[in-house]
Amino acid sequence: MDRLEQYRSTLETVLNEHAQLAAQVRAEHPNAPDTPAETIAICDPKTDNYLLITTGWTSKQRIHSILAHFRIINASICIEWNGIENLIEDLIDRGIPATAFLQATAQHPPRSTALQ
């Protein structure tokens, strides 16, 4: 398996595992609402976007949040957002080298002070 395919496969596997874990925790929680929010892994190998989101209802409140968002750009994994503890460590444990990860903030273009 080439490097990009490994990244895609590993991201999909780990995000799906985290979504399943969230579902298990909600099911086992004694105060879980009747219609709980759902955690969903969204994996798009065409655009190389990989997200973990929570959507639905909790009690009377609508929930829609991005828990994690990764993009594969130029053979690196850009961390657009990571709100999950140990998620990067899980990916590294599955064989993605730590050097493959880039923070999205490191990619910000320089600001121009000139008016255009």
The structure's pTM equals 0.84
Residue located via tokens 């008016």? 115
Digit-coded pLDDT (tens) for 39-96: 999 999 999 999 999 999 877 889 999 999 999 999 999 999 999 999 999 999 999 9
88: left (phi over 0), alpha (psi -120 to 50) or beta: alpha
| 54 vs 108, higher pLDDT | 54
> Which residues 6+ apart lie within 8 Å of 75 measured at CB?
3, 4, 100
**C-alpha count within 13 angstroms, C-beta hemisphere, residue 74:** 4
* The pLDDT of residue 7 is above 90: yes
Nearest to 52 by CA among 24, 76, 80, 92: 80
> Which residues 6+ apart lie within 8 Å of 16 measured at CB?
41, 43
Length of the chain: 116
CB of 66 closer than 8 Å to CB of 81: yes
CATH for the stretch 1-104 = 3.30.310.110
State how far the Cα of 1 lies from the Cα of 81, in Å rounded to an integer: 27
